[in-house]
Protein backbone atom coordinates (compact mmCIF):
# COMPACT_ATOMS: atom_id res chain seq x y z
CA UNK A 1 0.00 0.00 0.00
CA UNK A 2 1.41 3.43 -0.93
CA UNK A 3 1.16 6.32 1.50
CA UNK A 4 -0.33 9.32 -0.35
CA UNK A 5 1.79 11.89 1.53
CA UNK A 6 5.24 10.30 1.48
CA UNK A 7 4.97 8.07 -1.56
CA UNK A 8 6.40 5.20 0.53
CA UNK A 9 5.07 1.70 0.25
CA UNK A 10 4.03 0.24 3.58
CA UNK A 11 2.87 -3.31 4.23
CA UNK A 12 -0.74 -3.97 5.00
CA UNK A 13 -1.66 -6.89 7.20
CA UNK A 14 -4.98 -7.40 5.40
CA UNK A 15 -5.59 -7.37 1.68
CA UNK A 16 -7.94 -4.59 0.49
CA UNK A 17 -10.67 -7.15 -0.11
CA UNK A 18 -10.27 -8.37 3.50
CA UNK A 19 -10.57 -4.84 4.87
CA UNK A 20 -13.62 -4.32 2.70
CA UNK A 21 -15.24 -7.47 4.07
CA UNK A 22 -14.57 -6.40 7.68
CA UNK A 23 -16.04 -2.96 6.99
CA UNK A 24 -18.87 -4.38 4.90
CA UNK A 25 -22.29 -4.11 6.56
CA UNK A 26 -22.91 -7.84 5.91
CA UNK A 27 -20.29 -8.75 8.52
CA UNK A 28 -22.05 -6.72 11.20
CA UNK A 29 -25.50 -7.90 10.14
CA UNK A 30 -24.36 -11.53 10.53
CA UNK A 31 -22.99 -10.74 13.99
CA UNK A 32 -26.04 -8.69 15.06
CA UNK A 33 -28.08 -11.58 16.58
CA UNK A 34 -25.10 -12.67 18.70
CA UNK A 35 -24.43 -9.09 19.77
CA UNK A 36 -28.09 -8.55 20.64
CA UNK A 37 -28.19 -11.69 22.81
CA UNK A 38 -24.93 -10.65 24.48
CA UNK A 39 -26.22 -7.15 25.24
CA UNK A 40 -29.53 -8.49 26.59
CA UNK A 41 -27.64 -11.00 28.73
CA UNK A 42 -25.42 -8.29 30.18
CA UNK A 43 -28.48 -6.16 30.94
CA UNK A 44 -30.03 -9.15 32.72
CA UNK A 45 -26.85 -9.81 34.70
CA UNK A 46 -26.56 -6.17 35.73
CA UNK A 47 -30.21 -5.96 36.74
CA UNK A 48 -30.04 -9.23 38.69
CA UNK A 49 -26.97 -8.13 40.62
CA UNK A 50 -28.36 -4.66 41.40
CA UNK A 51 -31.90 -5.71 42.29
CA UNK A 52 -30.96 -8.97 44.06
CA UNK A 53 -34.15 -10.40 42.54
CA UNK A 54 -34.55 -13.10 39.89
CA UNK A 55 -35.96 -11.69 36.65
CA UNK A 56 -37.70 -14.80 35.46
CA UNK A 57 -39.75 -13.17 32.72
CA UNK A 58 -36.62 -11.71 31.17
CA UNK A 59 -34.87 -15.11 30.99
CA UNK A 60 -38.10 -16.72 29.70
CA UNK A 61 -38.02 -14.28 26.76
CA UNK A 62 -34.27 -14.57 26.23
CA UNK A 63 -34.28 -18.40 26.04
CA UNK A 64 -36.50 -18.58 22.90
CA UNK A 65 -34.47 -15.72 21.38
CA UNK A 66 -31.29 -17.75 21.86
CA UNK A 67 -33.09 -20.77 20.38
CA UNK A 68 -33.94 -18.70 17.28
CA UNK A 69 -30.31 -17.57 16.97
CA UNK A 70 -29.18 -21.21 17.25
CA UNK A 71 -31.67 -22.35 14.60
CA UNK A 72 -30.60 -19.51 12.32
CA UNK A 73 -26.95 -20.40 12.83
CA UNK A 74 -27.45 -24.13 12.25
CA UNK A 75 -29.81 -23.67 9.29
CA UNK A 76 -27.00 -23.37 6.72
CA UNK A 77 -25.57 -26.70 7.90
CA UNK A 78 -28.91 -28.50 7.58
CA UNK A 79 -28.97 -29.73 3.97
CA UNK A 80 -32.56 -30.96 3.73
CA UNK A 81 -36.02 -30.73 5.28
CA UNK A 82 -35.41 -33.64 7.65
CA UNK A 83 -32.19 -32.09 8.99
CA UNK A 84 -33.93 -28.73 9.45
CA UNK A 85 -36.85 -30.35 11.28
CA UNK A 86 -34.35 -32.16 13.51
CA UNK A 87 -32.52 -28.89 14.18
CA UNK A 88 -35.74 -27.11 15.16
CA UNK A 89 -36.94 -30.06 17.24
CA UNK A 90 -33.72 -30.41 19.22
CA UNK A 91 -33.53 -26.67 19.91
CA UNK A 92 -37.18 -26.55 21.03
CA UNK A 93 -36.65 -29.52 23.37
CA UNK A 94 -33.36 -28.10 24.63
CA UNK A 95 -34.83 -24.72 25.56
CA UNK A 96 -38.11 -26.18 26.78
CA UNK A 97 -36.09 -28.25 29.26
CA UNK A 98 -34.36 -25.06 30.42
CA UNK A 99 -37.72 -23.31 30.94
CA UNK A 100 -39.15 -26.29 32.85
CA UNK A 101 -36.15 -26.50 35.20
CA UNK A 102 -36.17 -22.72 35.67
CA UNK A 103 -39.83 -22.81 36.68
CA UNK A 104 -39.17 -25.73 39.02
CA UNK A 105 -36.66 -23.50 40.83
CA UNK A 106 -39.42 -20.93 41.26
CA UNK A 107 -41.88 -23.28 42.96
CA UNK A 108 -42.84 -22.01 46.44
CA UNK A 109 -41.52 -25.17 48.12
CA UNK A 110 -38.13 -24.67 46.45
CA UNK A 111 -38.12 -20.92 47.13
CA UNK A 112 -38.27 -21.61 50.87
CA UNK A 113 -34.80 -23.15 50.58
CA UNK A 114 -33.22 -20.40 48.43
CA UNK A 115 -32.94 -16.65 48.61
CA UNK A 116 -34.04 -14.56 45.64
CA UNK A 117 -30.40 -13.84 44.79
CA UNK A 118 -29.38 -17.52 44.83
CA UNK A 119 -32.40 -18.42 42.69
CA UNK A 120 -31.43 -15.76 40.15
CA UNK A 121 -27.86 -17.04 40.14
CA UNK A 122 -29.04 -20.64 39.62
CA UNK A 123 -31.28 -19.59 36.72
CA UNK A 124 -28.46 -17.63 35.12
CA UNK A 125 -26.11 -20.61 35.54
CA UNK A 126 -28.65 -22.80 33.74
CA UNK A 127 -28.92 -20.22 30.96
CA UNK A 128 -25.13 -20.10 30.50
CA UNK A 129 -24.92 -23.90 30.36
CA UNK A 130 -27.91 -24.10 28.02
CA UNK A 131 -26.42 -21.50 25.68
CA UNK A 132 -23.04 -23.19 25.52
CA UNK A 133 -24.49 -26.66 24.89
CA UNK A 134 -26.92 -25.29 22.28
CA UNK A 135 -23.95 -23.71 20.50
CA UNK A 136 -22.08 -27.02 20.62
CA UNK A 137 -25.09 -28.81 19.09
CA UNK A 138 -25.29 -26.41 16.13
CA UNK A 139 -21.47 -26.17 15.84
CA UNK A 140 -21.46 -22.40 16.34
CA UNK A 141 -18.41 -20.90 18.01
CA UNK A 142 -20.31 -17.60 18.38
CA UNK A 143 -23.09 -19.20 20.47
CA UNK A 144 -20.50 -21.14 22.51
CA UNK A 145 -18.69 -17.84 23.11
CA UNK A 146 -21.96 -16.31 24.35
CA UNK A 147 -22.31 -19.21 26.78
CA UNK A 148 -18.75 -18.70 28.01
CA UNK A 149 -19.29 -14.96 28.48
CA UNK A 150 -22.46 -15.74 30.42
CA UNK A 151 -20.50 -18.23 32.54
CA UNK A 152 -17.98 -15.49 33.31
CA UNK A 153 -20.90 -13.41 34.59
CA UNK A 154 -21.73 -16.05 37.24
CA UNK A 155 -18.77 -15.34 39.53
CA UNK A 156 -19.20 -11.65 38.77
CA UNK A 157 -22.74 -11.75 40.16
CA UNK A 158 -21.74 -13.88 43.11
CA UNK A 159 -18.54 -12.12 44.23
CA UNK A 160 -18.00 -8.70 42.68
CA UNK A 161 -19.43 -5.49 44.14
CA UNK A 162 -21.93 -3.57 42.02
CA UNK A 163 -19.52 -0.89 40.78
CA UNK A 164 -16.86 -3.44 39.87
CA UNK A 165 -19.50 -5.62 38.18
CA UNK A 166 -20.15 -2.94 35.57
CA UNK A 167 -16.44 -2.86 34.77
CA UNK A 168 -16.31 -6.65 34.46
CA UNK A 169 -19.34 -6.64 32.15
CA UNK A 170 -17.87 -3.90 29.95
CA UNK A 171 -14.60 -5.85 29.73
CA UNK A 172 -16.64 -8.96 28.83
CA UNK A 173 -18.35 -7.10 25.98
CA UNK A 174 -15.05 -5.70 24.71
CA UNK A 175 -13.39 -9.13 24.88
CA UNK A 176 -16.35 -10.74 23.10
CA UNK A 177 -16.32 -8.18 20.29
CA UNK A 178 -12.53 -8.40 20.10
CA UNK A 179 -12.66 -12.18 19.73
CA UNK A 180 -15.24 -11.88 16.90
CA UNK A 181 -13.11 -9.31 15.05
CA UNK A 182 -9.91 -11.28 15.63
CA UNK A 183 -11.56 -14.45 14.33
CA UNK A 184 -12.66 -12.73 11.13
CA UNK A 185 -9.23 -11.15 10.60
CA UNK A 186 -7.64 -14.57 11.18
CA UNK A 187 -10.02 -16.12 8.61
CA UNK A 188 -9.21 -13.39 6.10
CA UNK A 189 -5.48 -13.94 6.53
CA UNK A 190 -5.89 -17.70 6.19
CA UNK A 191 -8.01 -17.19 3.10
CA UNK A 192 -5.39 -14.84 1.64
CA UNK A 193 -2.58 -17.32 2.27
CA UNK A 194 -4.47 -20.13 0.48
CA UNK A 195 -5.08 -17.96 -2.60
pLDDT in tens, the chain (195 residues): 444 444 544 444 545 555 455 455 565 567 788 888 888 877 877 776 667 666 778 888 888 999 999 999 888 888 899 999 999 999 999 999 999 998 888 888 887 888 777 777 788 889 899 999 999 989 888 889 889 888 887 777 666 554 555 676 777 778 888 888 888 787 778 777 776
Q: What angle do CA 119, 63, 51 make, to 5 degrees?
A: 40
Query: CA 88, CA 70: separation in Å to the nearest integer?
Result: 9
Q: Following CA atoms 82, 84, 90, 92 in sequence, which dihedral angle do they give, to the nearest 10 degrees?
A: -120
CA 49/CA 117 separation, integer angstroms: 8
- Tell me the whole-structure pTM to 2 decimals: 0.65
User: For the chain, what are the domain ranges?
Assistant: 35-189
Amino acid sequence: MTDAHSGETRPNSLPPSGLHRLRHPGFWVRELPFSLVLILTLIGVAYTSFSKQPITGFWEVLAPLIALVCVGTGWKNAPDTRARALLIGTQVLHWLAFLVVMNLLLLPSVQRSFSAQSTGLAIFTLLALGTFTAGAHVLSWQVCLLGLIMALGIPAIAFVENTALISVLVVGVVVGIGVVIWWHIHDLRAHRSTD
